[in-house]
């Protein structure tokens, strides 16, 4: 669960509907049932509290746009104002980087993914903004567990990958090769992404969530680095 002001997000990783949309009402099918660990497709339910603070009502039933059995969408949730992040550590696509649409292949079992939704006024209040995948070539593979944990703080998103196998002992500004080795099985890693204004993000990635190398103490330099190399920062333990 995650709480921000008068908004509450509740995850149900065993939910087994095959719905792939955000709706004001929950689906009732059971066509994407769970595996032996009772991990279904998963869903997140968003509730809002009335102005009097006395009652809660369902605002949105949130599903992954590529929902499938045992993806465990909702394994982790984070809520900050009008932004919701959801981890699905068993999502199976081999896609990389940050995109605005979710991939539908199943060629990298349990690679994992994170989904970022934003709320607007009018109509369906929540919509998918970013589909987030690890950028590492070697570590976007089976059983990476990207999305085990998600944390939102202002314009920053952090995503944990419990079975990332990079042998690095430091903070990396990830490129196609950096952090891409597999020399330390299941060492784990965290990825930090910076949410850029649309004017800065234009042409950087297909999504407004662009990553930053965080190589400088100044925000301006960090933004410039993100524009020059829109890649995710990977954090690994100093000793493995």
- At 232, the pLDDT band (50, 70, 90 cuts) reads very low
Cβ-based neighbours of 123, under 8 Å, separated by 6 or more = none
Contact 93, 102 (CB under 8 A): yes
The reported pLDDT for the residue numbered 73 is: 97
Predicted local distance difference test score (pLDDT) of residue 208? 43
- 2, β-bridge pairs: 9
| SS3 state at 226 | helix
pLDDT of residue 113: 93
Q: How high does pLDDT run on average in the chain? A: 75
Burial of 28 (0-12, 13-18, 19+ CB in 10 A): exposed
Average pLDDT, integer, range 72-86:
95
Cross-sheet strand order for the sheet of 83-88: 76-80, 83-88, 113-119, 126-132, 98-99
- Give dist(CA 158, CA 181) in Å, integer: 21
81-119 b/e (C-beta count within 10 Å ≥ 16 → b): eebbbbbbbbbbbebbbbbeebbeeeebebbbbbbbbbb
Question: What is the band of 236 on the pLDDT scale with cuts at 50, 70, 90?
Answer: very low
What distance in Å separates the CA atoms of residue 236 and residue 209, rounded to the nearest whole number? Answer: 21
118: tokens are: 């934003």
Name the pLDDT band for 53 (thresholds 50, 70, 90).
confident
Per-residue pLDDT, 199: 47
Cα–Cα distances in Å, from 2 out to 70, 94, 121, 227? 22, 28, 21, 31
Tokens 């929540």: give the residue: 126
Q: What is the pLDDT of residues 91-123, one digit of tens each?
A: 999 888 888 899 999 988 888 999 999 998 766
What confidence score (pLDDT) does residue 182 get? 59
User: What integer pLDDT is reported at residue 115 of this predicted model?
Assistant: 96
Q: What share of the chain is helix, strand, coil (3-state, %, to 5)?
A: 5, 35, 60
Best CA proximity match to 69, nearest among 15, 12, 143, 146 = 15
pLDDT tens column, 128-168: 999 998 876 555 556 678 899 999 988 888 888 876 655 45
Predicted local confidence at residue 184, as pLDDT: 55
191: region left, alpha or beta (phi > 0 left; psi from -120 to 50 alpha):
beta
Query: To 5 degrees, how large is the angle CA 208–CA 213–CA 218?
Result: 95
pLDDT level of residue 68 (50, 70, 90 thresholds): very high
* pLDDT tens digits along 177-213: 444 555 555 556 778 887 765 544 444 443 444 443 3
| Token pair of 196 as six digits | 């850029």
């Amino acid at each position: 669960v995650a709480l921000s002001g008068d908004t509450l997000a509740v995850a149900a990783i065993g939910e087994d509907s095959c719905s792939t949309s955000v709706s004001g009402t929950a689906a009732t099918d059971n066509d994407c049932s769970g595996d032996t660990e009772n991990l279904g497709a998963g869903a997140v339910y968003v509730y809002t509290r009335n102005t009097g603070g006395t009652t809660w009502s369902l605002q949105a039933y949130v599903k992954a746009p590529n929902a499938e059995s045992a993806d465990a969408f909702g394994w982790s949730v984070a809520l900050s104002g009008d932004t919701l992040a959801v981890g699905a550590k068993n999502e199976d696509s081999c896609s990389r980087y940050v995109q605005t649409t979710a991939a539908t292949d199943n060629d990298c079992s349990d690679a994992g993914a994170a989904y970022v939704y934003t709320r607007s006024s009018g109509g369906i209040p929540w919509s998918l903004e970013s589909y987030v995948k690890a950028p590492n070539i070697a570590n976007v593979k089976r059983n990476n567990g990207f999305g085990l944990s998600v944390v939102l703080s202002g314009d920053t998103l952090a995503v944990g990958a419990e079975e990332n196998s990079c042998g690095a002992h430091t903070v990396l500004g990830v490129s196609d090769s950096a952090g891409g080795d597999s020399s330390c099985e299941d060492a784990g890693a965290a990825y930090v992404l910076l949410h850029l204004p649309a004017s800065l993000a234009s042409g950087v990635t297909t999504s407004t969530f662009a990553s930053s190398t965080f190589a400088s103490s100044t925000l301006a330099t960090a933004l410039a680095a993100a524009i020059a190399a829109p890649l995710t920062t990977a954090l690994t333990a100093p000793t493995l």
